[in-house]
């Protein structure tokens, strides 16, 4: 449905915001574009919308090459972070505006705006101005405006980032339900990994204008292809520890660990990065050969669980290791000797970051 081929966007001054990118987004798919600040997410979205002209490559929408078409002829609706509502127009006029631009007749305009407003629970607010609405209501107006013109694709640029934490969760669920119902292909830019995992059918993780990984939320969470993706995805960052292979095991920070499947055959001495999520390690207060030794440092209460940070046992500057333990196990006292025992089947091994 949306097809990007060999896409390059260079800004004056030599910044390569998009660096030879290929991506196919299926009809009806919800794709989240995720990555750190400056990785090129917004530029990519704007290039799909036609607000930026690519330096090289092609943009296809619905099987048609739209690279040379202006935004108005691409049949996509973009929803911005600040909603970009017209302050002098009421809600009804804001929703109907793109229909007016498309020269849809007055009666049909009204009917479609009213039906869309009804669907988004805005019927009582049609004669208000944007300044008289809450953040969540403004967001729904921006959505209604995008939906009313029945586009072939929605392009969202961090549409939830101006909402407070609680409203953000409600709006997220609402958005996902709406997208399911409408079945419209959606590209959603965010730098919030939790939001990307929760919303998307597939997540595209960007780094430096390129795609680091494209996969389902489960794939990017459970099998990140690089240490960059591993460190970026997850509510608590993955433990990534230097180590080396020896005799079919991995020597990591004073522990002898069982390698997951394919890493069993590494030649002795091979340097590796060993990765395990804090959720996939257990805490032992008895010495374990297969446990990373340390002392309890900071303990953070996450509600139903505790995030325990182990500091190097000898007080040296070895790596910190984090473990998530159930809240009912009780809070360990700082300084208590402890061992973080990774579940081998959940561990990941990288060589040269891959």
Positions touching ligand ATP (CB under 6 A) are 11, 15, 17, 35, 37-43, 191
| CB 149 within 8 Å of CB 99 | yes
Alpha-carbon gap, residue 263 to 280, rounded angstroms: 18
- CB nearer to ligand ATP: give 45 or 117: 45
Minimal distance, residue 15 CB to ligand ATP, in Å: 5
Number of other CB atoms surrounding residue 290 within 10 Å? 14
Q: 189: which strand partners?
A: 33, 157
316/18 Cα distance (integer angstroms): 42
- Relative to beta strand 348-350, strand 271-276 is antiparallel
Q: Count the alpha carbons within 13 Å of 307 in the hemisphere toward its beta carbon.
A: 14
- Whole-angstrom CA distances from 230 to 112, 220, 270 are 45, 8, 20
Choice between 11 and 285, CB closer to ligand ATP: 11
Query: 39 vs 146, which CB is nearer to ligand ATP?
Result: 39
CB of 46 to ligand ATP, least distance (A): 8
Q: How far is the CB of 209 from ligand ATP (least distance, A)?
A: 7
Q: How far is the CB of 51 from ligand ATP (least distance, A)?
A: 10
Taking the C-alpha atoms of residue 307 and residue 299, their distance in angstroms, rounded to an integer, is: 6
Q: How far is the CB of 65 from ligand ATP (least distance, A)?
A: 23
Q: How far is the CB of 201 from ligand ATP (least distance, A)?
A: 21
Nearer to ligand ATP, 20 or 246 (CB): 20
Dmax over CA atoms of the chain, in Å, equals 78
Q: Least distance (Å) from ligand ATP to the CB of residue 189?
A: 7
Closer to ligand ATP by CB, 41 or 140: give it.
Answer: 41
Cβ proximity to ligand ATP: between 45 and 149 the closer is: 45
- Neighbour count for residue 253 (Cβ, 10 Å): 21
To ligand ATP, the closest distance from the beta carbon of 79 in angstroms equals 15
Query: In angstroms, what CA-CA distances link 354 with 213, 273, 274?
Result: 11, 9, 11
Give whichever of 18 and 225 is closer to ligand ATP, judged by the CB atom. 18
Q: Which is nearer to ligand ATP, 37 or 304 (CB)?
A: 37
């Amino acid at each position: 449905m949306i097809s990007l081929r060999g896409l390059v966007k260079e800004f004056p001054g030599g910044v390569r915001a998009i660096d030879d990118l290929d991506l196919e987004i299926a009809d009806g798919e919800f794709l989240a574009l995720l990555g750190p600040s400056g990785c090129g997410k917004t530029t990519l979205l704007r290039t799909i919308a036609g607000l930026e002209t690519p330096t090289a490559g092609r943009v296809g929408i619905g099987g048609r090459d739209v690279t040379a078409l202006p935004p108005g002829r691409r049949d996509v609706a973009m929803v911005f972070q600040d909603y970009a509502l017209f302050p002098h127009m009421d809600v009804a006029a804001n929703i109907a505006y793109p229909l007016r631009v498309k020269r849809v007749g007055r009666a049909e305009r009204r009917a479609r705006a009213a039906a869309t407003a009804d669907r988004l629970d805005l019927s009582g607010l049609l004669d208000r101005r944007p300044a008289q609405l809450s953040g969540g209501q403004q967001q729904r107006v921006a959505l209604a405006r995008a939906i009313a013109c029945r586009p072939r694709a929605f392009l969202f640029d961090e549409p939830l980032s101006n909402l407070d934490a609680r409203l953000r969760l409600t709006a997220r669920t609402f958005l996902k339900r709406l997208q399911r119902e409408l079945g419209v292909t959606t590209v959603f830019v965010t730098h919030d990994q939790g939001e990307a995992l929760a919303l998307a059918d597939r997540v595209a993780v960007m780094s430096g204008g390129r795609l680091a990984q494209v996969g389902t939320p489960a794939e990017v969470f459970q099998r990140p292809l690089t240490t960059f993706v591993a460190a970026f995805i997850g509510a608590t960052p993955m433990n990534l520890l230097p180590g080396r292979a020896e005799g079919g095991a991995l020597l990591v920070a004073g522990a002898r660990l069982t390698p997951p499947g394919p890493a069993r055959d590494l030649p002795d001495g091979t340097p590796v990065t060993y990765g395990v999520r804090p959720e996939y390690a257990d805490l032992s207060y008895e010495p374990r050969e297969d446990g990373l030794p340390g002392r309890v440092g900071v303990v953070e209460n996450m509600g139903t669980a505790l995030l325990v940070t182990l500091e190097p046992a000898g007080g040296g500057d070895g790596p910190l290791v984090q473990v998530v333990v159930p809240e009912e196990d009780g809070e360990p006292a700082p300084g208590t000797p402890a061992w973080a025992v990774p579940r081998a089947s959940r561990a990941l091994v990288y060589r040269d970051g891959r």
